[in-house]
Structure 1
């Protein structure tokens, strides 16, 4: 199996992946296209994670991607989050999340909502305009 990565335009090592597939005894025989396809899939996933992690680093005004950025990228993406749901990333931390019940309630906002919650728009307009 020659390194088919150059022909396929891949960066990931096709011959090494082919060697791992054979050595791992996943099947008695491994086709020539299998390592190329697997290398392409792995390269795509790596590029996707790196792009999202780079965006997370830029959002935090950093030039270097750290494990925290990788975690934020994975957990904030629906599909990657589902794929890597059971994965723990070392030094990644946790997603910032405060349950809405625990957030402080503002008394002014509640008073405004109660005043504006009248039965019909005509009554709300009449309540705002002063009567003569």
Structure 2
């Protein structure tokens, strides 16, 4: 039978044993198997413990959930139902800890951060009124 229905119990095994992914066993949404494969493929070390992939997948899932939560709030504040790269940029740059972790990261289509917008104006830029006309000093 080639369908996706219930599997028939094989003699000698109980019907309740089913294959569960490492992600499901760890209670994660992020793929532990893929993280483990990428850790091995990246040659970061000769040997990779199985707990390392679970831990890294959990950290990645937590950081992603945190950024999505803050970006969703930023989108809601702008009366949007879709999270845009600009909302992710605002979320990361307005959170002190995330800003520190992602300090060297450029978010494409994220727009300028608050710091760079203020630093674009020179410090010695002053307007002086001279006989009704503006003049730059």
Alignment TM-score > 0.5, same fold? yes
Return the alpha-carbon distance in structure 2 between the equivalents of residues 43 and 86 of structure 1.
21
Provide structure 1 residue ranges, at least 5 long, that are not aligned to the other structure: 103-132
The answer on 1:59 being equivalent to 2:77 is yes
Look up the match of 2:29.
Answer: 11
Larger helix percent: 1
The answer on 1:93 being equivalent to 2:111 is yes
Look up the match of 2:5.
Answer: none
The answer on 1:49 being equivalent to 2:67 is yes
How far apart are residue 98 of structure 1 and its match? 4.7
Provide structure 2 residue ranges, at least 5 long, that are not aligned to the other structure: 1-19, 126-137
Q: CA RMSD in A?
A: 1.7
If you compute each CA radius of gyration, which structure gives the higher value, 1 or 2?
1
How far apart are residue 4 of structure 1 and its match? 1.2
How far apart are residue 94 of structure 1 and its match? 1.4
Return the alpha-carbon distance in structure 2 between the equivalents of residues 80 and 74 of structure 1.
5
Pairs aligned (count) = 100
Moved over 6 A (4+): none
